Amino acid sequence: MKDKAMQVGRMSLDSVKKFRFSVVNTQVTLVLALVILGVVFSTLSPVFFSVRNFLNVGISSSILGIMATGLTVAMLLGGLDISQYSVAAFAGLLTAVLLKAGSSIPVALLAVLACGVVLGGINGLIITRMRINPIITTLGTSLIFRSLAFIMTSGRYIAIDNEVMNYIGRGYFLGVPNAIWFMIFVYAIFYYMLKYTAFGRKIYAVGGNADASFLSGINVKKIRFQAFMISGIMAALAGLMMSAQVSAGMPTAGEGAELDVIVAVILGGISLSGGKGKILGTLLGVLILAVLKNGLTLLSVQAFYQMLIRGLVLILAVFLDTLRGGGYR
Is the CB of 102 or the CB of 217 nearer to other proteins?
Answer: 217
Which residues inside 156-195 make contact with other proteins, applying CB under 8 A? 192
By CB under 8 A, tell whether 213 contacts other proteins: yes
Helix (H, G, I), strand (E, B) or coil at 172: strand
Is the CB of 15 or the CB of 213 nearer to other proteins?
Answer: 213
User: What is d(CA 58, CA 36) in angstroms, rounded to the nearest whole number?
Assistant: 18
Q: Which of 117, 146, 153 is nearest to 256 (CA)?
A: 146
By CB under 8 A, tell whether 24 contacts other proteins: no
Rounded to a whole number of angstroms, the minimum distance from the CB of residue 316 to other proteins is 23
Is the CB of 169 or the CB of 275 nearer to other proteins?
Answer: 275
User: What is d(CA 237, CA 260) in angstroms, rounded to the nearest whole number?
Assistant: 17
For the chain, where are the alpha helices, taking DSSP H only? 2-21, 26-44, 51-76, 84-100, 105-128, 134-152, 163-170, 178-196, 198-208, 210-215, 220-246, 260-267, 279-298, 303-323
Is the CB of 175 or the CB of 217 nearer to other proteins?
Answer: 217
Selected from 160, 218, 240, 244, the binder of other proteins by CB under 8 A is: 218
User: Residues 219-248: x/- map of binding to other proteins (CB under 8 A)?
Assistant: x-----------------------------
By CB under 8 A, tell whether 202 contacts other proteins: yes
Which residues inside 256-285 make contact with other proteins, applying CB under 8 A? 275-276
Selected from 3, 198, 256, 304, the binder of other proteins by CB under 8 A is: 198
Rounded to a whole number of angstroms, the minimum distance from the CB of residue 205 to other proteins is 5
Rounded to a whole number of angstroms, the minimum distance from the CB of residue 261 to other proteins is 24
Question: Cβ(61)–Cβ(311) under 8 Å?
Answer: no
Q: Which stretch binds other proteins (CB under 8 A): 69-77, 119-127, 173-181, 214-222?
A: 214-222
Question: Cβ(84)–Cβ(70) under 8 Å?
Answer: yes
Q: Which residues contact 7 (CB under 8 A, 6 or more apart)?
A: 40, 44
Is the CB of 10 or the CB of 201 nearer to other proteins?
Answer: 201
CB count in 10 Å sphere of residue 167:
13
Question: Cβ(223)–Cβ(77) under 8 Å?
Answer: yes
Residue 1, CA atoms < 13 Å, CB-side half-sphere: 11
Cα angle: 106, vertex 112, 117; to 5 degrees:
125
Rounded to a whole number of angstroms, the minimum distance from the CB of residue 271 to other proteins is 9
Selected from 216, 252, 302, 322, the binder of other proteins by CB under 8 A is: 216
Q: Which of 277, 263, 260, 265 is nearest to 325 (CA)?
A: 277
Is the CB of 50 or the CB of 219 nearer to other proteins?
Answer: 219
Is the CB of 146 or the CB of 202 nearer to other proteins?
Answer: 202
Selected from 117, 208, 258, 309, the binder of other proteins by CB under 8 A is: 208
Interface ranges with other proteins (CB under 8 A): 192, 196-198, 201-202, 204-205, 208-209, 211-219, 275-276
